[in-house]
Structure 1
Amino acid sequence: MQFIEVTELAGVRSAVVRFHHPDSPVRFLLYPMIRLAEAAFYREVTDRLRRDCDLVVAEGVGEVAPAADPLVDSWARLDSRERLGLVVQDVDPGTLGVPVLHPDAAGAGGQDGHRALPLRDRVTLGALTPAVLAGMRLFGTRRYLARHLTTENLLNETGRSEREALPGSENPVLGRRDRLLVEALTRLHDTASGPLTVGVLYGAAHMPAAANALTGLGHRAADTEWLTVFTLDPGPRDDAPH
């Protein structure tokens, strides 16, 4: 199942996938997120969560911090580049007006994943960060960013960036967050006593685990809507406050 699509015509798109079960009152809506996008993408996701969901399962505590590790932080700083016209992830679960569940809250091990890496790997990542940031500031374009976006994309997930930077290394962050997310979705499936629409607001790198878990519980993907994350050629700036 594809969650992030890159095409010349449409640019970068994110798949909102609806899962349902014939014998369960719970519906799940998966919202694959990335770190940088046009402001309109984050507004659309926010509006849909408010309108369509009774509960949101969200990554992070209150918000998704772009500085989860040095390499992801270097990408997040690119939102200041006028030529990109992109902003850092801007969906605040605390303003949605619906209950929000954070499976990877502090204390569950979700916020210290970078520190869980071996010291050697952390030092390597720290050394790579200035070079990555300098290169993007000199040569970075939307097309360059789009080339790195796949189902598990570099801009989104700490564990993905670590795995790309350090081939062969383990991925403790991605694995732990996947496990906590799957446990939360399973509990909601098992305990819901009435109709409930659950929005899953997580990085695209986590969506395969979520989809596999829901499929294992008997849910099926009913339909998919594609939202534009950003076009390959920037138009007028769209990040003014609303």
Structure 2
Amino acid sequence: MRAMLEGNRVSRISVRGFAVASATAVTTVGAVVGVASGNPQSPSDNLETTAADATLLADVPMGQQAQVQVSSLAEQADAQAAVADATAKKAAEEDARLKAAKTAESKKAAADAKAEEEREAKERAEKERKEKEARERASRDSARDSVGLTAKSSYTVAEVQALARQIIPADQFQCFSNIVQHESTWNYLAVNQSSGAYGLVQALPGTKMSSAGADWRTNPATQIKWGLSYMNERYDGPCGAWTFWQANRWY
């Protein structure tokens, strides 16, 4: 124990000696600077002050000095950890933002691709519909042109209606039938005694129907063709003509 105390005393004495020596050197320099600057100061005063300060610092126990150093290191470590946490948090937030942006971009691209597919499918469906309508129209035109090529001496109402079904589009037939029923009760030889209107659709004058065929007087197919053409041109179809007829009782 005595040896340890003596060792500690030697350490403190050594520290004091070092502090005094350092203070002496610093004081000497300060004195020289003071003289040069015109502010002379007693070298002994500077020496005593510095030596005393050094002695006070040297008197701090070694354990407490170590504790102060450890505390300072701990504070530095805490500060570094806080900076690291903040950096990691910022990096995580940036990563999350980039992932969210990438996800949104992917969803938008998928939505755009789906919309494009739907648009193309709609265009294909519309094209197919028009092509189908064109084929059906061509088929109707062909059937209409072929109807009545072999003329008969007379036709029943059922036969005339069958001819009309071959010529008139299905979605327009009922409107056409309504007009013919009111105008001639499906009699292709009907004549209006007061006006001279003639045939199934009561063309006025009847000679108008010659544009559809020279046999307009006796061939119901020719009368039906002319009546459909007239309704299409003037009323955009038999149903348009029927709407007008209902409001005016003529067309």
**TM-score, normalising length: structure 1:** 0.21
- Of structures 1 and 2, the one with the larger relative CO (CA 8 A, separation 6+) is 1
**TM-score, normalising length: structure 2:** 0.20
- Computing the radius of gyration over CA atoms, which structure comes out larger, 1 or 2? 2
